[in-house]
Amino acid sequence: MAQPAPPSQSEMRRQNLARVLHALADHGPQSRAEAAARIGLTRAAVSTLVEELMRAGLLVEQGPGRSGTVGRPGTVLQLADRGPCGLAAEIGVDHLAACAMDLRGTIRARGRCDINGRSGGPGPVLGRLTTLLEEVAREAADQGLRPERLTVAVPGLVTRGGTTVVRAPNLGWRDTDLAARLPAALGVLAVDNEANLGALAELWTDRPELPGSTLDQAPDVRGAATSGGPGGPGGPGGSGPTAAADPAGTGPAVPHAPGGDSFVHVSAEIGIGAAVVIDGQLLRGAHGFAGELGHVPVRPDGRPCTCGGRGCLETYAGEEAVLRAAGLEPGPGVRIDDLASRCAAGDQRTLRAVRRAGTALGIALSGAVNLLDPGRVVIGGALARLGPWLLPPLDRELARRTAVASGGRPTPVEVRASRLGPDGPLLGAARTSVRALLDMPVRPAAA
């Protein structure tokens, strides 16, 4: 029960600056008085912090009466839509994606391209990704934005808090340090598993007060010319639950709401990953490798898997396995969409293949539900598009195999497809970049 040492003056200052920024990110534009009440500091203290944040170009003032809260005059503060921004990238086995997000949580630029990530090793893939990120960064710069953080989502295992991809079986990568292969000019780098980032996006999106929840929202502040000038519509005002998760294990510890969200997020693409969120906190595991649902055994004596095991979930419900079972040869251009249209057309072989994948997913998830007792299961990634055919057999397995863990209730655990679809990991990466900027506002940028 020894008390931790009190934080230093400069650390206290950083924490208080971050509090002001997070209050604006979580609750939208508000006055100094509102921010002071929200974070428990005096109005005078907040005014000093705000001055510093405005000098650093992180905050702007709007005219009075713009907060959206009727009857509350006074100058309203808002996060800047120019200056520092976050970059995000997603490395898939068959595609790359990148985007830039401003402090308000708005996507301001994005790009995507197809690749064949299986051949050639990390060199060509990361070269192509650098080009894509530089295009996105240029488009952001044209709008007055300056990338300072980059978060990369990868389909593999990443050491906790590190930048090295320990193993990405479907890319064939091993011990690949992205920090050594991506230009430092793109911002301070964070690397995380795509399933983790997808789960964080899901977690943050469940909080309706957070701006920037979906990638397809209109880039409504694009073209706003000067900081301090008329901004776009801000996030909704009002109060709600506070943001709960610590994106990548960095930054100040944010206390989570009691009884916060608990779910297993399945990210089904070519590989199958999962992320476990407990009380609003991402479970990372002792080495950062938690969530390897794809290698949970579902048929212990079944097919050999690339991991060295047998009968892993991935060999039955991974994208390739389903394509092959449906009689399709996996390759560039052959995708989950083909399976979905064949299912819709009633193709029996495809329906059987997808049903079998749903059963296998249900068996593996039964184990996870019995072990973790999550509040719900969310199916994200490409396989989510097969929901109408995949979810019924999955539900059936869960219902028969998790009766004890559910106290014998007939509906053991809610299963639903993610509303974010395949955008989840990229969105989670972008918000991780932006949250890192909000957490660490101490290096003052030119106003």
Of the candidates 167, 207, 222, 335, which one interacts with a copy of itself according to CB under 8 A?
Answer: 167
**CA 128 distance to own-chain centroid:** 22
Of the candidates 32, 110, 149, 284, which one interacts with a copy of itself according to CB under 8 A?
Answer: 284
Min dist CB 132 to a copy of itself, Å, is: 28
Does the footprint of a copy of itself cover residue 285 (CB under 8 A)?
yes
Of the candidates 298, 325, 326, 353, which one interacts with a copy of itself according to CB under 8 A?
Answer: 298
Does the footprint of a copy of itself cover residue 75 (CB under 8 A)?
no
Min dist CB 166 to a copy of itself, Å, is: 4
d(CA 142, CA 135): 11
**CB closer to a copy of itself, 241 vs 330:** 241
Q: How big is the CA angle at 84 (ends 82 and 85), to the nearest 5 degrees?
A: 90
Of the candidates 22, 149, 385, 431, which one interacts with a copy of itself according to CB under 8 A?
Answer: 22
Does the footprint of a copy of itself cover residue 287 (CB under 8 A)?
yes
Of the candidates 128, 146, 181, 310, which one interacts with a copy of itself according to CB under 8 A?
Answer: 310
**CB closer to a copy of itself, 181 vs 376:** 376
Instruction: Using the rule CB under 8 A, give the single segment among 100-108, 195-203, 230-238, 307-315 that binds a copy of itself.
Output: 307-315
Min dist CB 264 to a copy of itself, Å, is: 8
Does the footprint of a copy of itself cover residue 291 (CB under 8 A)?
yes
Min dist CB 6 to a copy of itself, Å, is: 9
- Residue 400 CB contacts under 8 Å (≥ 6 apart), including other chains: none
Of the candidates 95, 128, 146, 299, which one interacts with a copy of itself according to CB under 8 A?
Answer: 299
Does the footprint of a copy of itself cover residue 254 (CB under 8 A)?
yes
Min dist CB 23 to a copy of itself, Å, is: 6
Instruction: Using the rule CB under 8 A, give the single segment among 108-116, 122-130, 349-357, 396-404 that binds a copy of itself.
Output: 396-404
Min dist CB 38 to a copy of itself, Å, is: 5
Does the footprint of a copy of itself cover residue 174 (CB under 8 A)?
yes
Q: x/- site string to a copy of itself, residues 219 to 248, per CB under 8 A?
A: --------------------x--xx-----
Which pair of structure tokens corresponds to residue 132? 């894509």
Of the candidates 54, 188, 307, 445, which one interacts with a copy of itself according to CB under 8 A?
Answer: 307
Of the candidates 65, 172, 375, 387, which one interacts with a copy of itself according to CB under 8 A?
Answer: 375
d(CA 322, CA 317): 6
Min dist CB 191 to a copy of itself, Å, is: 14
Distances from the Cα of 384 to the Cα of 95, 197, 332, 353, angstroms: 18, 16, 20, 15
SS (H, E, C) the chain: CCCCCCCCHHHHHHHHHHHHHHHHHHHCCEEHHHHHHHHCCCHHHHHHHHHHHHHCCCEEEECCCCCCCCCCCCCEEEECCCEEEEEEEEECCCEEEEEEECCCCCEEEEEEEECCCCCCCHHHHHHHHHHHHHHHHHHHHCCCEEEEEEEEEECCEECCCCCEEEEECCCCEEEEEHHHCCCHHHCEEEEEEHHHHHHHHHHHHCCCCCCCCCCCCCCCCCCCCCCCCCCCCCCCCCCCCCCCCCCCCCCCCCCCCCCCCCEEEEEECCCEEEEEEECCEEECCCCCCCCCHHHCECCCCCCECCCCCECECHHHHCHHHHHHHCCCCCECCECHHHHHHHHHCCCHHHHHHHHHHHHHHHHHHHHHHHHHCCCEEEEECHHHHHHHHHHHHHHHHHHHHCCCCCCCCCCCCEEEECCCHHHHHHHHHHHHHHHHHHHCCCCCCCC
Number of residues binding to a copy of itself, judged by CB under 8 A: 68
Instruction: Using the rule CB under 8 A, give the single segment among 50-58, 64-72, 203-211, 308-316 that binds a copy of itself.
Output: 308-316
Does the footprint of a copy of itself cover residue 296 (CB under 8 A)?
yes
Does the footprint of a copy of itself cover residue 308 (CB under 8 A)?
yes
**CB closer to a copy of itself, 133 vs 440:** 440
Instruction: Using the rule CB under 8 A, give the single segment among 66-74, 122-130, 189-197, 292-300 that binds a copy of itself.
Output: 292-300
The count of other CB atoms within 10 Å of the CB of residue 175 is 9
For the segment 400-419, give every residue that binds a copy of itself (CB under 8 A).
400-408
Backbone angles phi, psi at 274, to 5 degrees: -150, 160
Q: Where along the sequence are the contacts to a copy of itself (CB under 8 A)?
A: 1-4, 19, 22-23, 26, 38-40, 157, 166-167, 169, 174, 239, 242-243, 254-255, 262, 274, 276, 278, 283-300, 307-310, 312, 363-364, 366-368, 370-375, 400-408
